[in-house]
Structure 1
Amino acid sequence: MTHQPRGHGHEDAHGHGRRHGHGHDHHDHAPAVTAGNERRLRFVFLLTAGYAVVQAIGGWWSGSLALIADSGHMVSDAAALLLALVAYRIARRPADSTRTYGFHRVRVLAALANGAALLLLVAWIAWEAVARFRQPVEVMAGAMLVVAVIGMLVNLSGAWILSRGDRGDGNLRGALLHVIGDLLGSVGAIAAAVGIMLTGWMVLDPVLSLLVALLVVRSAWRLVSESLRVLLQAVPQGVDARAAEEGLAALPEIAEAGHFHAWTLTDESSVATVHVSPAPGVDPLLLPKLVSGWLHDRYAIDHVTVQVDPPGQLDREHC
Structure 2
Amino acid sequence: MGTGHGHGHVLGRHGRHGADRRPLVAALALIAGFMVVEVAAGLLSGSLALLTDAAHLLTDAVAIALALLAMRIAAAPPRGGYTYGLKRAEILSAQLNGLTLLLLSLSFGYEGARRLLDPPEVEGGVVLGTALAGVAVNLAATWLMSRADRSSLNVEGAYQHVLNDLLAFLATAAAGGVVLFTGWHRADAVASLVVAVLMVKAGWGLVRDAGRVLMEAAPAGLDPAEIGGAMAGRPRVMEVHDLHVWEVTSGYPALSARVLVDPDGDCHTVRRDLRRVLRERYEIAHATLEVGHLREDGPHCGEPHVPRPAMATVAAPRSAVP
Question: Which residue of the partner structure matches residue 206 of structure 1?
Answer: 189
* Distance in structure 1 (CA, Å) of the matches to 2:10 and 2:151: 21
User: Which residue pairs with 2:258 in the alignment?
Assistant: 275
CA contact (8 A) 1:70 1:185 kept: yes
Q: Tell whether the 8 Å contact from 1:32 to 1:91 is kept in structure 2 after alignment.
A: no
* Equivalent residue number for residue 244 of structure 2: 261
Helix, strand or coil at the partner of 1:235:
coil
> CA–CA distance in 2 between the matches of 1:78 and 1:286?
52
Higher relative CO (CA 8 A, sep ≥ 6), structure 1 or 2? 1
- For 1:78 and 1:279, the matched residues in 2 are separated by 58
Which residue of structure 2 lines up, in the alignment, with residue 294 of structure 1? 277
1:306 CA displacement: 0.4
1:27 CA displacement? 8.0
In structure 1, the residue matched to 2:25 is: 42
Deviates more, 1:303-312 or 1:190-199: 303-312
Structure 1 distance, partners of 2:22, 2:280, is 33
Q: 1:33 aligns with which of 8, 13, 16?
A: 16
For residues 116-142 of structure 1, give each alpha carbon's deviation from its aligned partner in whole angstroms, at most 9, with x where no partner exists: 222111111111121122111222223
Give the distance between the partners of 1:248 and 1:23, measured in 2 at CA. Answer: 18
Q: Contact 2:253–2:284 (CA<8 Å) still a contact in 1? A: yes
Range that drifts further, 75-84 or 241-250 = 75-84
TM-score, scaled to structure 2: 0.80
Aligned length: 300
Shift of 1:149: 2.8
Q: Does the CA-based 8 Å contact 1:24-1:303 persist in structure 2?
A: yes
Residues 78-97 of structure 1 show CA distances to partners (whole Å, capped at 9, x for unaligned) of 45534543454245421113
Instruction: After superposing the two structures, state which structure 1 stretch, 122-131 or 85-94, moved more.
Output: 85-94
Secondary structure of the residue that 1:309 maps to in structure 2? strand
Distance in 1 (alpha carbons) for counterparts of 2:25 and 2:276: 37
Question: Which runs of 5 or more residues in structure 2 are unaligned?
Answer: 296-304, 314-322
The alpha-carbon deviation at position 305 of structure 1 amounts to 0.4
Deviation at 1:34, TM superposition (A): 5.8
* Structure 2 match to 1:64: 47
Match of 2:140 among 151, 154, 157: 157
Change in 2 beyond 3 A, CA 1:30/1:276: same
CA-CA distance at 1:144 after TM superposition: 1.8
Q: Which whole-Å CA distance do the structure 1 matches of 2:92 and 2:150 have between them?
A: 22
2:209 match: secondary structure = helix
Secondary structure of the residue that 1:272 maps to in structure 2?
strand
Identity, % of aligned positions: 35
Q: Secondary structure at the match of 2:181?
A: helix
Q: Within 5 Å, which residues of 2 pair with 1:33-112?
A: 33=16, 35-86=18-69, 88-90=71-73, 92-112=75-95
- C-alpha displacement of 1:20: 0.9
Q: Kindly indicate whether residue 115 of structure 2 is the aligned counterpart of residue 126 of structure 1.
A: no
Contact kept in structure 1, 2:74 and 2:90, CA below 8 Å: no
CA distance in 1: counterparts of 2:113 and 2:165, whole angstroms: 23
List aligned pairs for 1:117-266, cutoff 5 A.
117-159=100-142, 161=144, 165=147, 170=151, 174=156, 179-266=162-249
Tell me whether 225-234 or 81-90 shows the greater mean CA deviation.
81-90
Structure-2 change in CA distance of 1:74 and 1:293 (3 Å): farther
Measure how far apart 1:205 and its partner are: 0.8
Supply the distance in 2 between the matched residues of 1:106 and 1:87 (Cα, whole angstroms).
5
Give me the whole-angstrom Cα distance separating, in 2, the residues matched to 1:169 and 1:123. 27
- For structure 1, the 5+ residue unaligned runs are 1-17
Q: How far 1:177 moved relative to its partner?
A: 7.0
In structure 1, the residue matched to 2:99 is: 116
CA contact (8 A) 2:10 2:251 kept: no
